[in-house]
Structures are given as C-alpha cells and as structure tokens.
Chain A
C-alpha cells in the first residue's frame, strides 16, 4: 500500500504570500493518479488539481501542481483569505488513499 506523507504539518503565512506544500509517496506512482483538495473549516473537501497538475473546473490559476519522482508539490502563488484551510493530497490505484493534510494558517 502506498503511503502519502505531507509536509509541513502547518504552514503559517500571510495573505498575498506564496505557499508551497509537499506530498511524498512511499513508492513511485503514476502522476496521473494524484489529486489535491482544499478543505475549508466546516466544509467538504474541494478538488483543486487532478493528474498532479490539472486544475479542476472553476479553480483559479493561482493554484498549480508539479511532480518529481515521489515528490509532488502544490503551489499557491498568492494566498487569498479563503486559502487558509487544510490541503490534502490523494492517490488512486485500486483504492483511494489520502494524505494526513497540511494546514495553512494566518
């Protein structure tokens, strides 16, 4: 079973700053099977990126994703107030697994 590790656990930033979030997989994976979600307080997760770097419908272009081996990165170029939330990476093979999340705090 592939394990997802996210870092840092918490990222403290200010509006307008750049956020870089990491997701590391325990084995090499097909990047087409990795997604990122944002979960705002009291809400369901919301799909941001799929296939590691493709923005889901309606997702602003300040969100971008990249992959290098077992390392996947979500970058938010300029933090907006609604971006202070928890971010999860998610992998699919024959089952879906989520990472433990990174909290982006003000």
Chain B
C-alpha cells in the first residue's frame, strides 16, 4: 500500500525558502507515477503546485513556476519541494500526492501546516 508522509519546518521566515520532503513507502518512486505537491489555504482553496515524473520531467503551476523546484531522490525514495522568496500568502497546508496519471491524485499525504511569519 503506497503511503506518503510530508516533513519539514512548520515555520518559515518571509523571503526565505520553504523546503519540504515527501517520504514514500510501499512503492518505489523510480518505478513510475507522478509525484506532486498541492497546498490549501482559506484564501486560495486547493492550489496545485506541480509534480515530477519518475523520468525526471517536471510540471509546474504557471503562477508559481518562477519560485518552485520539485525533484525526486530515488536513493531515498522521496521527493521534495522548494519554494523561494516566500511571503505570508504562502502560508498553507502542504500536501504531497501521487498517481499513475498526471491528471489527478489518488494517493495523498496527511498534510503539513507551514506558516510564513517572522
């Protein structure tokens, strides 16, 4: 059974980089699937951030693309999110997700609240 677990700091200072990791168990990320990040805030609702395929191809939300990097580490069986130059508007619950399709997510992590504040 594929399971996902987000980890990372719950508090990030404005202008710094938000860095999160999603650990994958029950499946090898090098075997396939699209591995993605989605966030949720009261102001913006659910917002797709982007995803990475096991081939290394990446797909980003155009509105965040200039600040986002998503990558996969097959040796650790995890993938990560980096979001640069954060502001209070980036405060949200961050979820990692996965699916065999690039179009939606069947598997979700439990979510991690990240607050941007000094």
Query: Which candidate, B19-27, B42-50, B67-75, is the interface stretch facing chain A?
Result: B42-50
Per the CB 8 Å criterion, the residue count for chain B at the interface is 20
Interface string of A51-77 (1 = CB under 8 A from B): 000001100000000000000000000
- Say what secondary structure dominates the interface of chain B: loop
Q: Chain A residues near B62: list those with CB within 8 A.
A: 95
Per the CB 8 Å criterion, the residue count for chain A at the interface is 20
B82-118 interface (Cβ within 8 A of A):
95, 99, 101-106, 108-111
* Contact present for A44 and B45 (CB under 8 Å): no
Q: Chain A residues near B105: list those with CB within 8 A.
A: 45, 47
B42-65 interface (Cβ within 8 A of A):
45-48, 59, 61-62
Query: Which candidate, A11-19, A20-28, A96-104, is the interface stretch facing chain B?
Result: A96-104
8 A-B pairs within 8 Å (CB atoms) are namely A33-B103, A35-B103, A44-B95, A44-B108, A44-B111, A45-B46, A92-B103, A96-B104
Pairs of residues from A and B, 4 with the lowest C-beta to C-beta distance, nearest first: A96-B48, A44-B108, A92-B103, A98-B46
